[in-house]
Every structure is written in C-alpha cells, then in structure tokens.
Amino acid sequence: MFNVSRSTGLYVFLFCSGLLLTSQARAFDLNGAWATGADQCSKVFVKKGDKISFAQFSEEFGGGFVADGNDVRSKTARCTIMSRKETGDIIDFQAACTSEIMATSTNLRLKILDANSVSRIFTDPALAGMELTFYRCSM
C-alpha cells in the first residue's frame, strides 16, 4: 500500500495532534473584578496588596463582583459555583449563594460580549428581557 517512513509518520502525527489541541474550546476567564461601568472601577473596588475589596460606597456607583476560581462575591453575597456550562457565548452557572440573612441555590446566565465585558441575563420570567452588563476592571 503506502510506504511511509517513520519520521514522516511522526511529523504527520504531531501536526494533526497540534491541530486538535489548538482547536479545543477554552473556558472564558471570569477571574477578576467586574463593575457595571468601565469608568467606575476605582469607585467600586479598592486593592490592598493582592486582595480586591469593595469601596465603602461602591453600591452608589452600580456595584460589581469579584470572581476568583469557583468563588464569586458581591458586596452583600458570596457564591460558590457548583457547575458551569459554556455553550458558544453563553455561560450557565449553578451556584450556592449566601448573604447575611439567607442561603440559596441559584442559576446564573452570562453572555460573553468580548474578553472584557459580559452581560448577566436574568432567567426569571418576571425579569424577562432584563440584562445587566459588567466590565472587567484592570486592578
């Protein structure tokens, strides 16, 4: 049939493997601080060392959230991401969240707008059509 040398076969194998590895989907990097206004980052967040915290009156400037791995926190709540499914430009999360007065399991949906902005899509029928856009803050 075909007489292919070992080195040629190895090159073909490595080339095809490289194509497969580079074509795999990469998860969107949500880590970092996100504010509802790109120009509001310094009013919403403060950085002390390597820790990002919320400014004293951050909610007056639209607020935001900080994502670190599977932990997501706002000024009033903390969530742990239990599962994440990324389909195209949509990310669906199942999260366990707590605040000072309650704990709940919730579904969150984000639409990736670009590398530095996402839009939360509210899935509750009472809030149908409502979205809230967040912008990545460089801290």
Contacts of 123 (CB under 8 A, 6+ apart): 107, 109
Determine the pLDDT at residue 25. 54
The pTM is what?
Answer: 0.76
Domains of the chain by range and CATH? 28-137 (2.40.128)
Nearest to 27 by CA among 76, 80, 90: 90
Q: Are strands 131-137 and 32-35 parallel, antiparallel or unpaired?
A: antiparallel
Q: What is the pLDDT along the chain (139 residues), one digit of tens a residue?
A: 445 444 433 333 333 333 333 334 568 999 999 999 999 999 999 999 889 999 988 888 888 999 999 999 999 999 999 999 999 999 999 999 999 999 999 999 999 999 999 999 998 888 888 999 999 999 7
Would you state the pLDDT for residue 8? 39
